[in-house]
Every structure is written in structure tokens, then in C-alpha cells.
């Protein structure tokens, strides 16, 4: 009896689920399907967008004309300014800078010519930039004085509005001849500094040139254009000057090529 009772209450053996493998198989198939969908999406190229990108890049490098309007912003480099590797050359940049300085020179000359003052200054372009020479200081300053003359004021009023909108730095440089000045200037350093400062103040205070882009320098008689020992009226006048120098903002390697581009280190008028 007891043996039969124990057998009656023994649990029945569980049957093994033989279809469990199907769940794992379906999971694997799902993962593979998702992977192939992603790979397919990554491999599909939008031909229209690819063509637009190709045209945009070609137009940006100046090689071909696009059939559509390119709304991208930036500098489009002409083919003449690109070497065989698609890079800007120093010579091309020097050519562009020389042209910019020539254009500025022409605008200044036009403003001076309008008032009949084209012969009052000397203009030259070299590796430094554009120099506006106020030569022969009797025209611009009284003897042994640093105050601007009436004609100097007229010249600066023509020059200032042309220079002010440009991005260039300006150096106003005072020079003197070999003769010693009189009181109140103990040396030519003070006299040439006073004249350079008078020019700077007029450009800033009257013509609105940004003060952060301009500086006044004094060279005394240390940098003559004519002979340092010259005593003729022409030599003295040439050495006694204030130069308004529009400084090129290009790198040294590019600026050194500007005279080569121009064919001469000096272009002058007046």
C-alpha cells in the first residue's frame, strides 16, 4: 500500500521542448536582415546630390561653369592663379596685391587731380606697399615748424577718405635733411616726429582714419632718398619729407615679388 501510494504522488516526467531552437534561429535571421538593410542604405549613392557636389567643387576651383546657381560663399580662384596642383602660387598672390595697390594709387591720384594737387605728392609702389611722399616740406610745413600748411591740409583731405575704408595699416614716417633745426626742436628727430604726428592726427581726427591702424615714426636724417651729404636744393627737398606708407598685409615672400610683378620698384607721379 505505501509503495503504491508513493508511486501515485510522484511527479510526471517533463517532456523536452524540441522547438526551442526556432526562437534563436529567428532572432539570428532578424539581426542579419537589419544588418543587410543598413549595408544597403550605406551603399546607395544619391546621384543627383553627387552631381551637385561635383559641380560645386569644380566651380569653386574655377575649372568649369556650373549649370546651376552655386550659393556657396567664399573666394573663387581663377585658373590663372592656380598651379598644376590646384594651389595658389605666391606669384599669383603678388600679382593680385600689386593690382590692389595700383588701384588704390589710381584712386588717390584721381582725388588729387580733381583739386589740381596731382603734382604735390610722389606715389610709388614697392615691396612695402604704396608710399605717398609729401616731399619738399616747404609745401606742407613752414620752415622749422610742424604745423600743417593749407595745401598740406587739402592734400590730406583728398588722401584720407580714400585710405580710410581700406584694410591696410598705415605708417606715417617723418624725415629731415642733414641741416640742424632751430628752437624749439633740439634735433631733426623731434622736428620730423612733430611733422609725422601732425599728419597722423589730421588723418585720424579730421578724416576718420582708424587710430588702431596707423602709427607715426621719426627717422630724422637717417634715411635720405637723395645723397646723405647732398646740399643742393633738390637733395635737401627730397630728404626733407613725410611719407604716408600704406603697408601691404601680405607675407614677406609675397611682398618681395611685388617689384618683379610691376617690372620696376618704383612708379611715380609728380
> Tell me: the pLDDT tens digits for 219-231?
999 998 887 677 8
Give residue limits of the domains in the chain: 20-76, 90-262
CA 21 to chain centroid, in Å, comes to 71
Q: What is the pLDDT of residues 100-148, one digit of tens each?
A: 999 999 999 999 999 999 999 999 999 999 999 998 767 898 888 899 9
Among 3.30.1330.60, 3.55.40.20, 3.40.630.30, 3.30.565.10, name the CATH number for the domain at 90-262. 3.30.1330.60
Residues of the chain with pLDDT under 70: 1-20, 38, 41-54, 56-88, 137, 228, 264-270
Sheet of 169-174, strand order: 122-125, 129-135, 241-247, 169-174, 214-218
- Cell numbers at residue 79, please? 585658373
How far apart, in whole angstroms, are the C-alpha atoms of residue 255 and residue 262? Answer: 12
Q: Measure Cα distances from 237 to 60, 94, 219 in Å.
A: 52, 33, 15
CA distance 124 to 102: 9
Amino acid at each position: 500500500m505505501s509503495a503504491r501510494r508513493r508511486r501515485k504522488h510522484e511527479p510526471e516526467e517533463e517532456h523536452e521542448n524540441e522547438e526551442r531552437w526556432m526562437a534563436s534561429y529567428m532572432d539570428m535571421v532578424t539581426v542579419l536582415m537589419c544588418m543587410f538593410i543598413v549595408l544597403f542604405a550605406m551603399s546607395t549613392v544619391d546621384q543627383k546630390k553627387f552631381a551637385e557636389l561635383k559641380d560645386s567643387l569644380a566651380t569653386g576651383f574655377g575649372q568649369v561653369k556650373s549649370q546651376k546657381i552655386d550659393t556657396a560663399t567664399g573666394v573663387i580662384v581663377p585658373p590663372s592663379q592656380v598651379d598644376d596642383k590646384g594651389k595658389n602660387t605666391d606669384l599669383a598672390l603678388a600679382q593680385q596685391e600689386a593690382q590692389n595697390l595700383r588701384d588704390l594709387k589710381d584712386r588717390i591720384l584721381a582725388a588729387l587731380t580733381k583739386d589740381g594737387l596731382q603734382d604735390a605728392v610722389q606715389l610709388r609702389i614697392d615691396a612695402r606697399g604704396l608710399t605717398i611722399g609729401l616731399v619738399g616740406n616747404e609745401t606742407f610745413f613752414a620752415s622749422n615748424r610742424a604745423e600743417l600748411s593749407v595745401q598740406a591740409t587739402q592734400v590730406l583731405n583728398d588722401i584720407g577718405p580714400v585710405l580710410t575704408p581700406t584694410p591696410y595699416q598705415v605708417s606715417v614716417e617723418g624725415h629731415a635733411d642733414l641741416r640742424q633745426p632751430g628752437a624749439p626742436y633740439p634735433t631733426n628727430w623731434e622736428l620730423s616726429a612733430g611733422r609725422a604726428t601732425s599728419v597722423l592726427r589730421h588723418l585720424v581726427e579730421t578724416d576718420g582714419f582708424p587710430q588702431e591702424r596707423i602709427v607715426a615714426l621719426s627717422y630724422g636724417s637717417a634715411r635720405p632718398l637723395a645723397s646723405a651729404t647732398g646740399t643742393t636744393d633738390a637733395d635737401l627737398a627730397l630728404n626733407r619729407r613725410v611719407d604716408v606708407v600704406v603697408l601691404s598685409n601680405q607675407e614677406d615672400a609675397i611682398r618681395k615679388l611685388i617689384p618683379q610683378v610691376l617690372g620696376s620698384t618704383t612708379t611715380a607721379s609728380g
